[in-house]
Structure 1
């Protein structure tokens, strides 16, 4: 069994910390970042958006998960939690495009593995491991083009308004085996093995950073990750050229997205 030492952890909501849809998990057996997908509806339950509900439910599963569980067991138990939620709550919006959705990166101490489900980030010994959603890459470029062609003084973020219907339509590729557009996400469905990324670690010391995509890049430390984010917020708050995204900073918000990060070291047992 390896030894794990958490160096630092940080979470900050784009609007406020209370409304943050990210969740950090830190138990003796699992370390993780769970990023609830930005809510696309006005639905709330007990004051929580669909993104916050999803990340909270997944974090709860990780806190109860048997230490020797595989990634498939995590997915199965999350799906059971989502199904139980829908059974007791009257949810009228389309579940696939506007329901509970989240991505995550998780470290299993027992298995000494990193699990990547969706587009949250891993920095493993200085090597960045990303898993972007294919449709988001296209739509980020489309939004950038629209903003470039739009005259000043137009509606707030016409690029976001233009791509939002396509963001919703692209959810048809969620957990799809489509080789070009399929992507992994926790949404209550089974997730094809081909979309899951599992990184077994060697029996050597490792330094790891897990982060949500509220950071342009998960660097090797919190300070470096924050510095890169700060440069984007100062130079490209629309997130349309230096760092292209499907959304920019809404006036009055602190950033373009919620962000969370946990930095830890893994050392083989003596």
Structure 2
């Protein structure tokens, strides 16, 4: 990245709301949502998507990958390009946190490729 974010004022401003977000995780209600975080997920929040006929491979990734490529390397490459263009995460990567010094991205990442 060409620019390094020294202080993320947007993240500081949103901290109070983000801090309360956890109360909605895996909670039933109008703003509740499912998350894989080690706690039970209420069945009403689970969405099952059938795999269409002829699909022999699935790629599932966390929101740390804004673009999911056919390979992990392709996903990392897309992420690197986006981070170079938008290290503050206010344009293509619009979100609640920027890339801080010592970090390589704005979020943790998980990438899973399954052959059926």
Say whether the fold is shared (TM-score over 0.5): yes
User: Do residues 174 (structure 1) and 25 (structure 2) align?
Assistant: yes
Provide structure 1 residue ranges, at least 5 long, that are not aligned to the other structure: 1-154
The answer to whether structure 1 residue 236 and structure 2 residue 83 are counterparts is no
Residue correspondences, number = 110
Aligned partner of residue 172 in structure 1, secondary structure: coil
TM-score computed with the length of structure 1 as normaliser: 0.37
Cα deviation for residue 187 of structure 1 reads 5.0
Query: Aligned to 2:61, which of 198, 211, 229?
Result: 211
Cα distance in 1 for residues equivalent to 2:19 and 2:38: 14
SS at match of 2:57: strand
* RMSD of equivalent CA atoms: 2.1
Structure 2 SS opposite 1:208:
strand
Q: Which residue of 1 aligns with 2:76?
A: 226
Q: Classify the secondary structure of the residue corresponding to 1:168.
A: helix
Structure 1 residue aligned with 2:50:
200
- 2-structure distance, mates of 1:174, 1:223: 30
Distance 1:252-1:162 versus aligned 2 partners, 3 A rule: same
Question: 1 or 2, which has the higher strand percentage?
Answer: 1
Q: Tell me which residue corresponds to 2:3.
A: none
Name the structure with the higher helix share. Answer: 1
2:75 and 2:44 mapped to 1: Cα distance?
Answer: 30
Distance in 2 (CA, whole Å) between partners of 1:262 and 1:175 is 22
- Other structure's SS at 1:231 match: helix
Q: CA deviation at 1:172?
A: 2.2
- Unaligned runs of at least 5 residues, structure 2: 1-5
2:7 is equivalent to residue 162 of structure 1:
no
Q: What's the CA shift string for 1:104-160, capped at 9, x where partnerless? A: xxxxxxxxxxxxxxxxxxxxxxxxxxxxxxxxxxxxxxxxxxxxxxxxxxx711111
Instruction: Tell me the residue number matched to 2:108.
Output: 258
Q: What secondary structure does 1:218 align onto? A: coil
For the 8 Å contact 1:205–1:265, the answer to whether it is kept is no
CA offsets 1:61-116 (integer angstroms, 9 cap, x no match): xxxxxxxxxxxxxxxxxxxxxxxxxxxxxxxxxxxxxxxxxxxxxxxxxxxxxxxx
Greater C-alpha Rg: 1
